[in-house]
Chains A and B, each alone.
Chain A
Amino acid sequence: MSGPSSYVPKSNLSKWFDERLPVARLMHDSFVAFPTPRNLNYMWTFGGILMVCLVLQIVTGVVLAMHYTASVATAFDSVQHIRRDVNYGWLIQPLHAVGASFFFVAVYLHIFRGLYYGSYKAPREVLWILGVFILFAMMATAFLGYTLPWGQMSFWGATVITNLFSAIPVFGESIVMWLWGGFSVDNATLNRFFSLHYLLPFVIFGIVILHVWALHVVGQNNPTGLDIKQPSDSVPMHPYAITKDVFALFVFLIPFAYFVFFMPDWLGHADNYNPANPLVTPPHIVPEWYFLPFYAILRAVPDKLMGVLAMVGAIAVLAFAPWLDWSRVRSCKYRPIMKWCFWGFVATCLALGYLGAMPAEEPYIMWARIFTVLYFSYFLVAMPLVGLIETPSQMPRSITDAVLGGGKAGSGGGGQYPAGATAAPEKR
């Protein structure tokens, strides 16, 4: 994608080093000279923001691990010790807890952007699937991390989620016991969850490197969905994309800091400030907000195994989007029907989030079922069918034309250029 390297070593030392290990060249080609579409909007800044989120979680997490003790007798108090007595613990612990929430805010916006602008379509399928792997790993990490403070929600959340594996036929019970390391969620469970919670972020980091690599092979998508065809379609990442990314990062940090400093516990659940008690079941077991839509789907299905499959399937179905969507027009900007389906899908996700927080009773169950069907129909009905019947609106000839307004009025001959070659197959 980036073509021949434009890196020129400036000193003898960097020249010497470049001939032996061209790390500086790799960085220069990937993050300085890398051509980015000139029409990227602010929805494209979440990649960089997510990178910062991941690093922030790892850094704060490493510090927290220095003071946390993974034992059912002391875990709860050690988190309080961090909040009360450790130097700047009152800052580091909320950064990590609120950070997890904002990580999901950013990742969900990142995914919605990918869906709207068709970033999952060829040639970005592998890039997209790696992203789904990252989402799975993030969810596992967040779930494991929420167990660690060993409050009531930690304990009962862990109990509910690990019990989902008991839905597996024949081996279910044995698998659950194997996960627990005993006959219930207990010290062995907490210890392994801590170990895995420390491990998984580095797994995520590894997949992120592949994700970025894949991105740099195929190049970024952009709001028009058109490929970069000419030099004027792109700008070097530095300083153009970088200045925009950093500005957007700081905009993102403002609400983040607001929560950390002024309402650090608002996103959590009061019951998690009661120490875990296996003998007292909380009246409402509710996961963190970022799991609520999937929790709603789980509870919407009457059968346990099918519910678990639906919940996992709700995320896994993302990975099949590249082949479910038959339209070759990437961007919903030029897809008059799919655009509405997309916003319907966003509304569905929000509705499922609300329903996941409500008690499992009518009328919530009925609504959860309706929205679960709508959720899956976006992927299984809208994606394959809409492309067949919709007529894409006219697209600009190139990214440059989209930015500078040329093309439509015939800025050079083309006149009625039919939405780029990619749109033609849709006119059946």
Chain B
Amino acid sequence: MKRLTTLIAIASASVASLAFAGAAAAAAGGEHYDFQKQSWSFSGFTGQYDKNQLQRGFQVYQQACAACHGMQRVKWRNLVENGGPQFPEDAVKKLAAEWPNQPLAGPNDDGLIADSKGNLLTRVATLADPILGPYRNEKEARAAQNGALPPDLSLIVKARSIHEVPIWYVHVGKMMSEIGRGYQESGADYLYNLLIAYADAPAGVKMSDGMYYNKAYPGNQIGMPAPLQKDNPIVYENGKGTHEDNVRDVSAYLAWAADPKLNERKATGWYVMLYLLITTVLLYLGKKVVWSRIGGH
């Protein structure tokens, strides 16, 4: 009887360690794509944004993305603040005032929201205003974009991640490795891969109307045309800039936009961890002294 129950007990424990045979990742349709993880200046414990990269990334956003996408949660002043691109204040003020999409000003004192020609009343944007996209609302955007909605980009890096479903023992190892490295850049990696993975549709793949082929996108058909051109990259002020530079820099810029306090948080984290480690050692020594009086633990 005892042996039987021991067997049952051992069986119940070992079943848990059995492989989930056949639990292979179910592809979301479309061909398999191997995401290339990038090395970012803001990854890891010491990671901080590179302000020059953020400045270049903003230039890419301005020239390639801003025509369709706004950044509602990023204020112009954020571009000046520490931990961000740190553009000169005057330059940002000027840029905000000249930005093609200005905040609404109506209704005015007469209760009007539009001028005599029917144009909505606007005012000049200040540092306190958000970076606006070209569309006032979802309906206007969809009407202009053939039914598609270009999402706001201020949180896009946090709202996306590389979704992989590995077999369970790989899954556990991957989680441990991510914790060990402090890996938080899944969104930036996703965006980098998405922007670089535009290609011509392979023969035999039937594209839906108004869709573009992308190797990294689930199902391979994406509504957004390639925003950055391989053979016509945006050139930076220093005269350099390849397609790959554009993709990397705009991904970094959008990562900052989604998490603008990262520099401060990680820098503070070091002091906190140091304090905790030292205090923990001291507490351990204190506990040992106290318990040495009586023996045991």
Contacts and interface: CB of A to CB of B under 8 A. Distances in A.
A244 interface: yes
Contacts of B174: none
A51 to B, nearest CB: 17
A183 interface: no
A367 B1 CA distance: 28
Interface in A338-370: 338, 340-341, 343-345, 347-348, 350-351, 354, 358-359, 361, 363-364, 367, 370
Interface string B259-291: 011001110110011001101100110110011
B265 A91 contact: yes
Contact of A261 (B23, B154, B178, B272): B272
A239 B290 CA distance: 7
A13 interface: no
Where chain B touches its partner, the secondary structure class is helix
B232 interface: no
Interface string A271-297: 101100000000110000000000000
Nearest to B161: A270
Contacts of A38: 294, 296-297
Most interface-central of B45, B163, B261 (chain A CB within 10 A):
B261
B184 A77 contact: no
B33 interface: no
A171 interface: no
Interface stretch (A138-146, A249-257, A300-308, A412-420): A249-257
A344 B13 contact: yes
Where chain A touches its partner, the secondary structure class is helix
B159 A250 contact: no
A361 B78 CA distance: 45
Contacts of A367: 20, 23
A243 B266 contact: no
A80 B15 contact: no
A41 interface: yes
Interface string A82-126: 011000001100100000000000000000000000000000000
B186 to A, nearest CB: 7
Interface stretch (A27-35, A157-165, A190-198, A384-392): A384-392
A366 to B, nearest CB: 9
A389 B3 CA distance: 10
A389 B158 contact: no
Contacts of A215: none
B104 interface: no
A263 interface: yes
A66 interface: no
B2 interface: yes
Contacts of B163: 284
A390 B186 CA distance: 50
Given A283-B28, A343-B13, A363-B22, A250 B5 contact: no
Given A247-B284, A370-B15, A270 B6 contact: no
A374 B2 CA distance: 20
A340 B183 contact: no
A403 B158 CA distance: 52
Most interface-central of A270, A348, A350 (chain B CB within 10 A):
A270
Contacts of B260: 84
A155 interface: no
A297 B266 CA distance: 38
Nearest to A38: B296
B273 to A, nearest CB: 6
12 contacts: A243-B290, A244-B297, A261-B269, A264-B265, A265-B184, A270-B187, A283-B28, A338-B9, A363-B23, A371-B16, A382-B9, A389-B1
Interface of A: 38-41, 77, 80, 83-84, 90-91, 94, 235, 239-240, 243-244, 246-247, 250-251, 253-254, 257-258, 260-266, 270-271, 273-274, 283-284, 336-338, 340-341, 343-345, 347-348, 350-351, 354, 358-359, 361, 363-364, 367, 370-371, 374, 377-378, 382, 385-386, 389-391, 403-404
Interface of B: 1-2, 5-6, 9-10, 12-13, 15-17, 20-23, 26, 28, 45, 73, 78, 151, 154-155, 158-161, 163, 165, 168, 171-172, 178-179, 182-184, 186-187, 258, 260-261, 264-266, 268-269, 272-273, 276-277, 279-280, 283-284, 286-287, 290-291, 294-297
Given A91-B265, A239-B290, A347-B13, 16 more contacts: A84-B73, A90-B265, A91-B268, A240-B291, A243-B283, A247-B287, A261-B269, A270-B159, A270-B161, A274-B155, A341-B12, A345-B12, A351-B16, A354-B171, A363-B23, A374-B12
